[in-house]
Structure 1
């Protein structure tokens, strides 16, 4: 069984209130070295069998048409999960 990871982030020009809330909380906790936070989404897609180029292409299509809102978000990564890597955090 294979896993595809899709990462989606708000476009740079879009206000990210969740990211702003996180950076504010970090500062209140004494973590002032972080000047900006952008919060995105991660999807893990399980597939039967191996992750092939065809599977990745289908995942890219799903990411562009369903998993992201192309008006305000960019799909920044569609890739196979590498063995030993944590699927989600």
Structure 2
């Protein structure tokens, strides 16, 4: 039996980061993290730590508060029919 997929809640910060259209490796380098960490941020699997949020704010103008707001109307997440 296959395990059901885990649904991660993306934040507005994750959506904004994804919409930049930048290479995850470059974002990772500027934030001092791995590309995998950036991938986790953009999928909603994790959120950046406080210092990383500040780097993202300074480098890419992503408000810190956006990491605490749920994404609404996220085009990368198709709605599921019940």
Specify the TM-score bucket, using the shorter chain as the normaliser: under 0.3
Using CA pairs below 8 Å that are at least 6 residues apart, which structure has the higher relative contact order?
A: 1
In proportion to residue count, which structure has more strand?
A: 1
Larger radius of gyration: 1
TM-score by length of 1: 0.23
TM-score by length of 2: 0.24
